[in-house]
Amino acid sequence: MEKMPKRRERAAFFSNIIPVLRSGQLRAFYRVPSQRIKNSASRLLLCFFVTFSPKIPNFHSFFFLMKLKSLLLVGGALLTGTAATAGGFQVNLAGQKNVGMGGVGVGLALDHAAMFYNPGALAMIRQNGVQVGANAALARISYVQSGGGTQRELQHNVVTPFNLYASFGPAEGKFRAGIAVYTPFGSKLEYASGWEGRYSLTQIDLQSIFVQPTISYALTDKISVGAGLVVLAYGAVNLQKDIPLPSSNGSIELDGKAEHKLGYNAGIYFKPTDNVSLGFSYRSKVDAHVKSGDVSFNNISSSFGSRFTATKFDVTLPLPATFSFGVGVTPNDKVTIGLDANYVQWSKYQTLNFAFSGNNGQGGTSGVDGQVGGANFSSSKRSYQDALTFRLGGQYKVSDALALRAGVGYDFSPVKDGYVTPETPDADRVLLSAGASYDVGEHFGVDASFLFEDFKKRSQTQRDLITNGTTDRVAGTYKTFIFVPGLGLHYNF
Task: Please name the residues in contact with 204: beta carbons below 8 A apart, sequence gap of 6 or more.
Answer: 76, 77, 80, 187, 188, 189, 237, 238, 239, 240, 423
Look at phi and psi of residue 26 and say left if phi exceeds 0, alpha if psi is from -120 to 50, else beta. Answer: alpha
User: CA 68 to CA 72: how far, in whole Å?
Assistant: 6
The pLDDT tens digits for 195-246 are 778 888 888 888 889 999 999 999 999 999 999 999 999 988 888 999 988 8
Q: Which of these ranges, 34-38, 222-226, 248-252, 356-360, has the smallest mean pLDDT?
A: 34-38
Q: Are strands 261-270 and 223-244 parallel, antiparallel or unpaired?
A: antiparallel
Q: Is the pLDDT of residue 383 over 70?
A: yes
CB 107 within 8 A of CB 339: yes
More confident position, 159 or 54: 159
Q: Is the pLDDT of residue 486 over 70?
A: yes
CB 313 within 8 A of CB 369: no
User: CA 403 to CA 438: how far, in whole Å?
Assistant: 7
How large is the average pLDDT for residues 459-480? 89
SS (H, E, C) the chain: CCCCCHHHHHHHHHHHHHHHHHHCCHHHHHHCCHHHCCCHHHHHHHHHHHHHCCCCCCHHHHHHHHHHHHHCCCCCCCCCCCCCCCCCCCCCCCCHHHHHCCCCCCCCCCCCCHHHHCHHHHHHCCCCEEEEEEECEEEEEEEEECCCCCCEEEECCEECCEEEEEEECCCCCCEEEEEEEECCCCEEEEECCCCCCCCCCCEEEEEEEEEEEEEEEECCCCEEEEEEEEEEEEEEEEEEEEEECCCCEEEEEEEEEECCEEEEEEEEEECCCCCEEEEEEEECCEEEEEEEEEEEEECCCHHHHHHECCCEEEEEEEECCEEEEEEEECCCCCEEEEEEEEEECHHHCCEEEEEEECCCCCCHHHCCCCCECCCCEEEEECCCCCEEEEEEEEEEECCCCEEEEEEEEEECCCCCCCCCECCECCCCEEEEEEEEEEEECCCEEEEEEEEEEEECCEEECHHHHHHHCCCCCCCEEEEEEEEEEEEEEEEEC
Q: What pLDDT is recorded for position 317?
A: 82
Maximum pairwise Cα distance, the chain: 94
Q: Is the pLDDT of residue 256 over 70?
A: yes
The pLDDT tens digits for 59-117 are 344 334 434 443 443 333 333 433 444 555 556 789 999 999 999 999 999 999 999 99
User: CA 7 to CA 295: how far, in whole Å?
Assistant: 49
User: CA 80 to CA 98: how far, in whole Å?
Assistant: 22
User: CA 341 to CA 363: how far, in whole Å?
Assistant: 54
pTM, entire model: 0.79
Neighbours of 51 (CB within 10 A): 12
User: CA 434 to CA 96: how far, in whole Å?
Assistant: 10
User: CA 407 to CA 33: how far, in whole Å?
Assistant: 47
The pLDDT tens digits for 270-319 are 999 999 999 999 999 998 899 999 999 998 888 888 899 999 999 988 88
Show the CA angle centred on residue 314, arms to residues 308 and 319, nearest 5°. 135
Query: Which amino acid is present at 332?
Result: N
Q: Is the pLDDT of residue 406 over 90?
A: yes
Neighbours of 493 (CB within 10 A): 10
What structural domains does the chain harbor?
53-492 (2.40.160.60)
Q: What pLDDT is recorded for position 439?
A: 95
The pLDDT tens digits for 121-134 are 999 998 899 999 99
The rounded Cα 436 to chain-centroid distance in angstroms is: 29
Percent of the chain with pLDDT over 90: 52
**Over the chain, what is the mean pLDDT?**
81
| Paired residues of 340 in beta bridges | 326, 391
Confidence of residue 4 (pLDDT cuts 50, 70, 90): very low
Which of these, 477, 478, 473, lies nearest to 77 by C-alpha position? 473
More confident position, 391 or 198: 391
Q: Is the pLDDT of residue 32 over 50?
A: no
Q: Is the pLDDT of residue 259 over 50?
A: yes
The pLDDT tens digits for 414-464 are 998 889 888 778 899 999 999 999 999 889 999 999 999 999 999 999 899
